[in-house]
Chain A
């Protein structure tokens, strides 16, 4: 059941559809070859091999999957304990400085350079990246305009809201016009409106402006909205990789979304026993569930099971496989194989 782990290395052409108009001469965005990352005795990534082509790539996984560690390793901030890593055709960490000049990084926390205004912050980010002073300031105005930062840019960043800080962080990552944009949970702590705006910008950069993006998130909707390809991580291992359509096709089968009333727990246990692979989109709400029909099983089998379990089915909606299902089934599979 679920997706089998992706054989590694994933060939670039198989993992990604051809991306037109993407900048940079490198054939691969990054290549990992048996990458091992450790913090002291704790192994975060036990050995990952993958090759990712340019484009908008989502890095999906639950908290603690090793996404942030992978991003830091790509930047050369964390030295790998083993294996090889090439980013934009350069060896990391040996050529980390070269890579960092071509990469923009938006960290997960709401961190900005303290004690400066918004415009100073972005211009400073450009200057320490190596841009000439005046050019950095001019460019800072441009990118702040792009991310929707108006007169607020002249206010000290210490007074900014979370949403404004996210915009400043994005502008700082963009100021030197990088080839690859690394976004670590860019919608963290944002209200729905702010989240939609940031995602719109990132999608625009990835699709209309030809910038390669690595978007790390545990929010499936964010990744689905922005990215064409996905790397799915769990416990430091790569569980699946490929375009979203490919991955969805792999979990193809008839799925049904149910709203239950009664002893839902009993129904879920019985469904799992009979191979219906039930998932709860919201773990706190056992009445809403998603089941996958085994090959050849009629939809009525679910209803019969519900009758057996004395559970009323209030809603029965056939659904197309989504990234959410890919995610859940892959995680399910990975926990099952361990």
Chain B
């Protein structure tokens, strides 16, 4: 006879019928990533990296704040410069997303590569599906985990900067000018979040070891862009450049924010050294945004759709078939 406590108490509570059944998966996944129990190196790496990856956002946030606060210790020329670039401030959003994409890629690999691969390796999927969860809930939960981290470095900072930017605008009718920017900010960042999240999860579902998922994903997001940018942009083949998810996302943002229109206006109003500077920046941005809006969005939709197909296909073959009608 075992010597331990053998009392089994009944539980009289009721199981909650959550509108979003995947919520516990999302919360546990985010907590798990922060807990970083696997090694001190991982913990240090992730937390240190989090600080570093906030720097571009903090810098822009600070500049926007200065714009609004206009401290007396700044030279008056600075304010004149602020006023001069005020109409073109929308350019900071796609630039920030582009800057943060470096960090996004590392987060994707650190957090996303093992999300499904580990469940596949340990056979934990039937454990999820033996609970009142469907395959869709499981997928939404996993997308929620990686999507939360992606949003923290795309949508949330952009929205914060948009808010500060709107408040900082010294010219009358600031909100009227700021509101139209809200749609491109949300649409572009959601596209980024979905593309990154779905692709890393699709790759993760194909592997049993997170390391392999990371390698495949890096090949898609670093080798493929290098290759297509090299061939496509140099020869004006925008469609080829759009094959790369990163370039397609940047081009989509470029079109959504009407960056070309902003530059045209800036070039029309400026001359001399300022104009030369604007031209250099414009050329650099155009290099990465050589595809048309249609090509870019087709590419984004294709990457998302393909990833979703892979995800569902792979998971449905894991010895479990969940009836969609069970929802």
Contact = CB atoms under 8 A, between A and B. Distances in A.
Contacts of A95: 326
Nearest to A138: B11
Given A96-B322, A130-B17, 4 more contacts: A76-B323, A93-B322, A97-B326, A200-B2
- The B contact surface, by secondary structure, is loop
A72 B320 contact: yes
A204 B2 CA distance: 11
B89 to A, nearest CB: 42
Contact of A111 (B7, B123, B133): B123
A40 to B, nearest CB: 11
A115 B121 CA distance: 12
A131 B28 contact: no
Contacts of A204: 6, 8
B126 A127 contact: no
Contact of A93 (B122, B128, B325): B325
A72 B323 CA distance: 13
A181 B12 CA distance: 17
Interchain residue pairs A-B with the least CB separation, the first 4 = A130-B15, A177-B11, A148-B4, A127-B24
B32 interface: yes
Contacts of B24: 124, 127-128, 133
Contacts of A139: 11
A128 B17 contact: no
B16 to A, nearest CB: 5
A320 interface: no
Interface residues of A, number: 54
Interface string A75-115: 11111000000000000011111101101010101011111
A146 interface: yes
A133 to B, nearest CB: 7
A111 B132 contact: no
Contacts of A201: 2, 6
B7 A146 contact: yes
A146 B8 contact: yes
Contact of B124 (A96, A111, A156): A111
Nearest to B321: A79
Interface in B27-59: 27-28, 32, 37-38
B132 A98 contact: yes
Contacts of B235: none
A311 interface: no
B132 A97 contact: yes
A105 B320 CA distance: 14
B80 interface: no
B28 A129 contact: no
A93 B8 contact: no
Contact of B327 (A97, A113, A115, A174): A97
A70 to B, nearest CB: 14
A124 B234 CA distance: 52
Contacts of A174: 8
Interface residues of B, number: 47
9 contacts: A77-B320, A93-B326, A95-B326, A105-B127, A115-B118, A128-B131, A146-B5, A146-B8, A177-B10
Contacts of B124: 111-114
B18 A76 contact: no
A145 interface: yes
A100 B131 contact: yes
A77 B323 CA distance: 8
A156 B37 contact: yes
A109 B32 CA distance: 24
Interface in B102-143: 114, 118-119, 121-124, 126-134
Interface in A108-143: 109, 111-117, 120, 124-125, 127-133, 135, 139, 142-143
A75 B130 contact: yes
Pick from B129, B131, B320 the residue with the most CB of A within 10 Å: B131
A225 to B, nearest CB: 13
A176 B326 contact: no
B56 to A, nearest CB: 30
B132 A130 contact: yes
A176 to B, nearest CB: 6
Nearest to B324: A93
Contacts of B32: 115-116
A16 interface: no
Nearest to A107: B126
Contact of A112 (B28, B121, B122): B122
B1 interface: yes
